[in-house]
Structure formats: C-alpha cells, structure tokens
Amino acid sequence: MKTTATFCTIVPPHILDKLAQSEDPAVSEPARRTLERDALLRTQRRISAGRGEAAPAGTPSDRPQRTIYDAAQQDTLPGAKVHAESDRPAKDQAVNRAHAGLGATFDFYLKAYGRHSIDDCGLPLDATVHYGDNYGNVFWNGEQMVLGDGIGKVLLDFTESPEVIGHELTHGVTQSTANLEYFGQSGALNESVADVFGSLVKQYALGQTADQADWLIGAGLFGPAIRGVALRSLKAPGTAYDDPQLGKDPQPTTMDDYVRTSRDSGGVHINSGIPNHAFYLVASALGGHAWEQAGKIWYATLTGGELAADADFADFARLTAATARSLFGEGDEIQAVLKAWSMVGVPIA
Ligand SMILES: [Zn+2]
C-alpha cells in the first residue's frame, strides 16, 4: 500500500509563528524550536515514507495494547519504556493520561464502528510523552503518537486533551484507509476527519449528545492568560481564540471565506473549518449521539474504499450523500447531509 508523507501536528504553524514573535523569550524560543523541529520532522517523514506501513500485529483483540514511553525532554524516539498495558497507574500523570487517551480512542472505534485499533488489525498503540525541550506540539509520525509538554504558560500539557489524542490517532486511521493526500482540499479533509473523530472520541467517552458537546479541539490547552477556548471549533469555526499572542482563529465556515495559502500544506488546518462545520450541521440537525448517524456516514465514507486520495470537498460531499442514502435510505439523514453541504457552500448537484 502506498504511504503518503503525512506529518500531522495538532498545533498549526500559524499559531506557532505568532508565538515565535512573542516578546517573552520563554515563549518565543520554544515556539521557534518547535517550528524548526516540525520542519525537520516533516522532511524526515518525507524521506522515510515509502518504507511501508507498520505491520499488522496478530489477531485483532477487543482490548488495546498500549505502551507509553518517556523521552525525558530529549528528541530521541521512542524514549524509555515506562508503562505497559497491564501496569498499575504510573506516578507521572502525563503517562496515565496518555494511556487513558489511547484507550478512549481504541474503545470509541471498536464500540462505535467495530474497528480494531487504527489499522483494524489490532495495531499496538504506542505514545511518547515529555518529548523535546518545551516542544509545543503533538503528532502522529506514522507509527506512534508523540506528545510535547507545551510552551510555558501559553500551550499546556497536551495529554490533558482526549480529543487531541483522538485526532492524532485518526490520522493513523486515515493513513490506513483513504490515505488522503496532505495538501490543499484533500489535506483539509484529512485534518477535518481527524477533528471530527477526535471530537467524537470525547463525546463518546462522556456519553454526550450533539447539543451537549463542546465541539472543540484542544479545549483546556491554553493557559489562563490566553483569550481563547481551544485550537479549533467545529460548531463555530473562526471563534476558538482571539489573542494578542496567538492572533485570531483563521478558520472559515463556508467556501466564501476559503483561504488560499502555500503555508501549512495549503492551509490544511485552516480550510478544514468548512468540512468540520458541515459535519457539525449534520450532527446537530439529527440530534442524539453524533457518532450513531452523522459519524457513521463520515466513517463509512472515509473507510469504504471509494474516497480517492486526492478527493476535494465536492468529491467528499457527494460521497457522504451517497453513503447516507445507502446506510439510511431517503430519510432525515440524507436531507441533513444535503442541507449541511449547501450551507457551507459545497452544494451537491
Ligand atoms: Zn492533524
């Protein structure tokens, strides 16, 4: 199977760019180092891509197989093994939270969609915590999750946010299914499905209905001095933060405000606001647990084998409509899907 050179961090470069300009060296220096590290990792990923997928490991089990490593603020992966699946809780809460976040994502995919881990073959889930010196990001490197400690009082401990772990592991699900190319609209779709299922991981764990959910990605990640609630909002793209240090959330809600840029792989973390909001509209129109109808439509679209790696928003929208019809017939679901895409400016002919 073809492997794309995807390197998917949770904190987009436009936020780190702003932080790198901060007058506070305790913020600007780690932000600059994080940007440099991300650029280096992105290049390494490109070189190593094509070496093939991580091999499926054994018979799929209904229990996750999690291992947590500690990089001890160094840049070497995976670091020292500090926690195995059957170990008692660690003293380090970051280890326990990473373990729990991997478990919440595994449970969600298994119970909501019958998927056994991210490759559906029971892939063991590995995560490294305390990566780098004030590394202000989180990523899935094609084989494992890597979590930094954050940047000072601006970006806090990433293990605190279950939807961030759900987001990153969903990049693994996408990698082993539609393998959406990480550039332009297909890249924004790659980011969007990671946000959608990241949010659903949290909603499922909390038993929330669509109207109870916060629909935020990275809630609680910002320090108290930051004016913002999260990195992104599916409910109201463009409103997650507006802060002198971070700038303003640049996400559009509709195609009218689509952002053309060469940065961030063609704005993959920006234009994802459009398909994100389409999903939110479908889920809120249908009500109840978002993973049961809206989520099922999106999941079947992503994993069904018909979504092209270079799909654009219109291709994805058409396929969600076809999937809604085949799963639920001519009911509320297809009407919600058609209306949502039309509202975000991607009408389905
Ligand atoms: Zn991502």
**Residue 102 near residue 127 (C-beta atoms within 8 A):** yes
Strand 125-131 to 66-70 pairing: parallel
From the CA of 6, how far away is ligand 1's center (Å)?
9
Torsion of CA 10, 14, 15, 21, to 10 degrees: 140
What are the pLDDT tens digits along the chain (349 aa)?
A: 344 446 778 888 889 999 999 999 999 999 999 998 888 887 775 554 433 444 454 568 899 999 999 999 999 999 999 999 999 999 999 999 999 999 999 999 999 999 999 999 999 999 999 999 999 999 988 889 999 999 988 999 888 889 999 999 999 999 999 999 999 999 999 999 999 999 999 999 999 999 999 999 999 999 999 999 999 999 999 999 999 999 999 999 999 999 999 999 999 999 999 999 999 999 999 999 999 999 999 999 999 999 999 999 999 999 999 999 999 999 999 999 999 999 999 999 8
**Residue 70 near residue 131 (C-beta atoms within 8 A):** no
Q: Which residue has the tokens 């809460």?
A: 93
Dihedral of CA 311/313/318/319: which sign? positive
From the CA of 300, how far away is ligand 1's center (Å)?
20
Q: What is the pLDDT of residue 114?
A: 96
Q: List the catalytic residues.
A: 168, 269
Q: What is the pLDDT of residue 294?
A: 98
From the CA of 166, how far away is ligand 1's center (Å)?
10
From the CA of 198, how far away is ligand 1's center (Å)?
10
From the CA of 168, how far away is ligand 1's center (Å)?
6
Is 114 strand, coil or helix? coil
Distance CA 309, CA 179 (A): 5
From the CA of 46, how far away is ligand 1's center (Å)?
16
Q: What is the pLDDT of residue 53?
A: 44
- Among residues 306, 310, 303, the alpha carbon closest in space to that of 322 is found at 306
From the CA of 252, how far away is ligand 1's center (Å)?
17
- Predicted TM-score (pTM) of the model is 0.92
From the CA of 329, how far away is ligand 1's center (Å)?
32
